């Protein structure tokens, strides 16, 4: 595996791969890799002769400076795991390499991300998806991937990126990969490393409440299902639901009746102490 730090070097590498006729699989990450990331990498390696993984903690998608400062960074471990998984190249630039002169010096480009970017994470983390679109579109332009791999834990992010490539005219297959969970059900996330032992012990309640609610939903309304999840999680020490929305999986707009859409998911964000965890569950998929 080669380690690329500079954009110019990345462009040469990509050009060489294109000349060889190689399809490129891209796995964008912010590092602190776990088995969830590695499942994306494994899939990318099985589907593309060349795989680029990026490791870049993108400052423009953080609306909370403490969140950015405390975001876990484990570059050496990340590189070892990526090499073991068979990645061809890792792109791990400094902030200045991605945003010359700093993020503020970049020409302002407002991405049209549709209504999917205005709800849930978009509402609670203003500017977050503009930052995600900025870095992901830049990575797409630099790496020219045939396929790009994202985890379904960030369900809304995938919908927003799909909108972004449409409006920006970027030709890439977005491959959505299933959530990876710890044995106790907690969705794997780099942020889990920030949980105290007490918080880590209760964090699986998020998935347990969501799973329970799938059975509950068969005999109850959308509103009652929503409320039972929020009540159950809020009753757990250390935990506070920020939002829980039961939505149409394509528009991400809330539904009021189970009959309203053939594909319905529940998306949740919970503060476990100071750590913000997200997860989701499918209630219905009839498409
Ligand atoms: O999902 C993430 O880790 C990030 O949002 C991404 C896609 C790597 C962009 O920084």
Per-residue pLDDT of the chain (287 residues; tens, 9 = 90+): 999 999 999 999 999 999 999 999 999 999 999 999 999 999 999 999 999 999 999 999 999 999 999 999 999 999 999 999 999 999 999 999 999 999 999 888 999 999 999 999 999 999 999 999 999 999 999 999 999 999 999 999 999 999 999 999 999 999 999 999 999 999 999 999 999 999 999 999 999 999 999 999 999 999 999 999 999 999 999 999 999 999 999 999 999 999 999 999 999 999 999 999 999 999 999 98
The pTM is what? 0.96
| Choice from 61, 78, 121, 125 to test ligand 1 binding pocket (greatest atom count within 8 A of CB) | 61
Contact predicate 138/111, CB 8 Å: no
- How many angstroms separate the alpha carbon of residue 42 from the centre of ligand 1? 17
What spacing in Å lies between the alpha carbon of 14 and ligand 1's midpoint?
21
**Which residues are known to be catalytic?**
37
Which residue, judged by its Cα, is nearest atom 9 of ligand 1?
132
Q: Report yes or no: 26 and 147 within 8 Å, Cβ to Cβ.
A: yes
Dig out the tokens for 32 from the structure: 């602190």
Measure 89 CA to ligand 1 centroid, in angstroms: 18
Report how far ligand 1's centroid is from the alpha carbon of 131 (Å).
10
Report how far residue 150's alpha carbon sits from residue 255's, in angstroms, rounded to the nearest whole number: 25
Contact residues of ligand 1, CB 6 A cut-off: 28-30, 58, 61, 132, 135-136, 154, 157
Residue nearest to atom 2 of ligand 1 (CA): 29
**Nearest CA owner, ligand 1 atom 7:** 28
Ligand 1 atom with the smallest distance to the CA of 61 is 10
For atom 1 of ligand 1, the residue with the nearest CA is 29
Q: Which of 26, 27, 28, 59 to mutate to test the pocket of ligand 1 (most atoms within 8 A of CB)?
A: 28
Q: Which protein residue's CA is at the shortest distance from atom 5 of ligand 1? A: 132
CA distance 166 to 150: 17
Substitution candidate for ligand 1 out of 136, 148, 276 with most atoms within 8 A of CB: 136
Contact between 172 and 140 under an 8 Å Cβ cutoff? The reply is yes
């Amino acid at each position: 595996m080669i380690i690329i730090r500079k954009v110019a070097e990345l462009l040469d590498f990509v050009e060489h791969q294109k000349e060889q006729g190689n399809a490129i699989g891209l796995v964008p990450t912010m590092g602190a890799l776990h088995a969830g990331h590695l499942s994306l990498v494994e899939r990318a390696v099985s589907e593309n002769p060349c795989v680029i993984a990026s490791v870049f903690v993108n400052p423009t998608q953080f609306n909370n400076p403490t969140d950015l400062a405390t975001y876990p960074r484990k570059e050496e471990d990340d590189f070892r795991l990526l090499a073991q998984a068979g990645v061809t190249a890792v792109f791990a630039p400094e902030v200045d390499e991605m945003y010359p002169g700093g993020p503020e010096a970049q020409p302002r480009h407002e991405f049209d991300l549709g209504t999917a970017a205005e709800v849930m994470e978009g509402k609670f983390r203003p500017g977050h998806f503009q930052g995600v679109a900025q870095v992901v579109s830049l990575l797409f332009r630099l790496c020219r991937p045939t396929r790009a791999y994202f985890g379904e834990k960030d369900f809304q992010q995938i919908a927003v990126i799909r909108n972004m490539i449409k409006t920006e005219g970027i030709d890439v297959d977005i491959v959505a990969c299933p959530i990876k969970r710890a044995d106790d059900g907690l969705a794997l996330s780099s942020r889990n490393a920030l949980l105290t032992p007490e918080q880590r012990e209760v964090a699986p309640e998020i998935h347990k409440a969501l799973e329970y609610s799938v059975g509950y939903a068969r005999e109850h309304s959308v509103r009652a299902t929503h409320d039972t999840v929020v009540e159950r999680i809020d009753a757990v020490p250390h935990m506070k639901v920020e939002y829980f929305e039961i939505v149409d999986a394509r528009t991400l707009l809330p539904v009021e009746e189970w009959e309203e859409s053939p594909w319905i998911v529940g998306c949740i964000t919970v503060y476990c102490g100071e750590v913000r965890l997200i997860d989701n569950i499918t209630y219905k998929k009839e498409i």
